[in-house]
Structure 1
């Protein structure tokens, strides 16, 4: 019957909303405490860490720097991932700030016609990565109490993301026929990049004061939306656990873990990680399962990134025609690849050279693990994020220039051969 699937979806959503509302009525104190926890997470970690990156990304778009990078990196990003050169900016900012920074930038690219719909979906598929500081500091040191584990998780995570990007190069072939502002690589590469930056700045037209004000205003609005999702999902996870829904949903996962041979104590952390990355990772680190299995589950959770992050990204993409389904498929593939590479690298000895000098992680030590770092530690962490951004962008730029020069040399050589004939 026409329209019945839509009515079924509406009915299901209505039941879910009513159930969550009643659960919150039955567990008001627990829900309130979970909401406070989510708010503290946002105010102490997410807000101060993401706000500068959001503002700077808006400024770089407004002054034309991103457009110039698009010209410089077009010879690299197009052959590797079938995305425009500006995709390198989304990738590097996602690496430095983590999710949902990549989705914010990709949505702006689409609205500015810097990429087509399919290119935006490809870009979102492999740029949705966790930042290195989260894996090295929060997970490796804070949860597993062993800094050497951070390198293992980071390598597996970024290898998986790169392979997802290569795989999604084939996605949407034949559909990507929309005309976009594709950057030309003819002529002097640096002159073209400079001219493109000037053109984009002139087209924007806002004074720097107006641009800065708009950047701060838009960034605050986006972060408040993210705050709402963090608090909401913190409460949802709590009431679903208390009402027995998460244990019920864990039954098929138990069968899957038995089939694979994973420790069953990792089922609950895995289910929590499906909803929220930090909670699932911390619970996995607190189990008595073998270390390699703990790391594999945590690596999957980090790559999957959690329904809380997915909801944030879905809201960021509102107002664009970028479809959400390819993103979900990419996250599943990324999670499986990251977990597999984690096991492989662990068996090769990666991340096991540094012995732990911390007390074993237990749920009671979460507060210590997440204690506020010293001023010097925060300063060095900031330098680390800046270094990652500079290294990625600089390396990609140099490699892109090399590809461009090699292409020009082939053209000159071909013309010389033709003239000799």
Structure 2
């Protein structure tokens, strides 16, 4: 009972908020559903299917062969670790964790290697950073590209640092590449679609739940109250409200920070750290996906904190050199081009490229 007392308290608070602020809670829940249905489902589901097909048809092993000279000396990991890392960076949360869990379940990596990969492979994607945070929130898509670059280098630095905490075992990944012939696309496509739909639906549940929780905290004034407790520091209450909101759900936190009256360098650095961390919502999504992988959750959380610190540090150092090159204001037509046309088209091209690669790989296996 004592072990679950905090969860029980949070649940009771949610029930209270649903009864006390029904209209606001309904609006927040609807907003979460629309966010999942209009943005997360159409962007993440095709990537999950494409990555699942690549994984089941042996593309991860091929990538591992190519990138083994890079992954071994840098991270002390087999080449196959490059598959979740680069696709995790490219497609965003929680694809890195999803691919790592799949590699572990298929016994292509050990548990120690899975934990090490997870310390740096689960990161925010370009669609969210450039389109939502950069263009929509801070009115300059270029900040989104800088966030993406800093999160990438932060992840690399975390992966190198956490190499010290994981033993370099003698797992021979070269044995994986000729273990068995991959199945045909007609065999693995139904399973891949079902698995991807189950995962993306679970992610939708977390998005809706935390959208309601954040609204409950805001309606009850708890975020503002906690932020006031830090008023002795040289930051505004709005800044702390954004940070606290971002610790729960990073999108809401980034939005609040974009309107805070504090200097731009502090708001952007805090935003970079929040998106690299992911917040409690992303953490719960990741733990849900990794429910069949017996990792040490404390180590994963420590890795995400290190990733957040490294990413924020890189951004803070780079800010004075790049500020003068970033547009201070973005015309409406430029924002439309960046958020509604350019990025989705780029993602569509890359999705088609993935599927084309799968098709070619299938043909090669059948020859």
Aligned equivalent of 1:293: 266
Query: Deviation string for 1:107-159 (max 9, x for gaps)?
Result: 11111112222211111111111112322221111111123322332222222
Deviation at 1:215, TM superposition (A): 0.6
d(CA) in 1 for partners of 2:49, 2:236: 44
| In the alignment, structure 1 residue 199 sits paired with structure 2 residue 179 | yes
SS at match of 2:124: coil
Moved over 6 A (4+): 368-372, 384-388
Shift of 1:81: 1.2
Partner of 1:130: 124
Aligned to 2:362: none
CA 1:262–1:386 in structure 2 vs 1: closer, same or farther (change >3 Å)? farther
Return the index of the structure with the highest Cα Rg: 1
SS at match of 1:201: coil
- Deviation of the 1:326 alpha carbon: 1.3
- Paired with 1:262 and 1:20, the residues of 2 have a C-alpha distance of 29
Using the alignment, how far apart are the partners of 1:142 and 1:381 within structure 2?
A: 18
Determine the C-alpha separation between the residues in 2 that align with 1:148 and 1:105.
29
* Cα deviation 1:291-331 (Å, max 9, x = unaligned): 11111111111111111111100000011112221111111
Distance 1:98 1:386, change over 3 A: farther
Q: 158, 163, 173: which is aligned to 1:183?
A: 173
Given that 1:346 and 1:352 are in contact with CA atoms closer than 8 Å, whether structure 2 keeps it comes out as no
Whole-angstrom distance in 1 between the partners of 2:244 and 2:353: 34
Q: RMSD of aligned C-alpha atoms? A: 2.7
TM-score computed with the length of structure 2 as normaliser: 0.88
For 2:42 and 2:65, the matched residues in 1 are separated by: 32
Alpha-carbon contact 1:87-1:123 (below 8 Å) kept = yes
Q: Is 1:51 aligned to residue 45 of structure 2? A: yes
How many residue pairs were aligned?
353
* Cα distance, 1:31–1:59 mapped onto 2, change above 3 Å: same
Consecutive unaligned residues in structure 1, runs of 5 or more: 1-6, 185-191, 361-367, 389-421
Give unpaired runs (5+ residues) of structure 2: 355-367
Q: Deviations over 1:344-390 (max 9, x none)?
A: 11122x15313234379xxxxxxx979995556632454478899xx
1:324 equivalent to 2:290? Answer: no
Distance 1:56 1:28 in 2: 40
Structure 1 residue aligned with 2:254: 281
CA distance in 2, matches of 1:381, 1:207: 25
1:17-32 alignment to 2 at 5 Å? 17-32=11-26
Residues 258-269 of structure 1: matches in 2 within 5 Å? Answer: 258=233, 261-269=234-242
- TM-superposed CA distance for 1:231, in Å, is 0.3
For 1:10-409, list aligned pairs within 5 A.
10-173=4-167, 180=171, 182-184=172-174, 197=177, 199-202=179-182, 206-251=183-228, 253-255=230-232, 258=233, 261-348=234-321, 350-358=322-330, 374=340, 378-383=344-349
Q: Alignment partner of 1:86: what SS?
A: helix
Once the two structures are superposed, residues 162-188 of structure 1 have per-residue CA deviations (whole angstroms, 9 ceiling, x without a partner) of 111110111133xx65x75x323xxxx
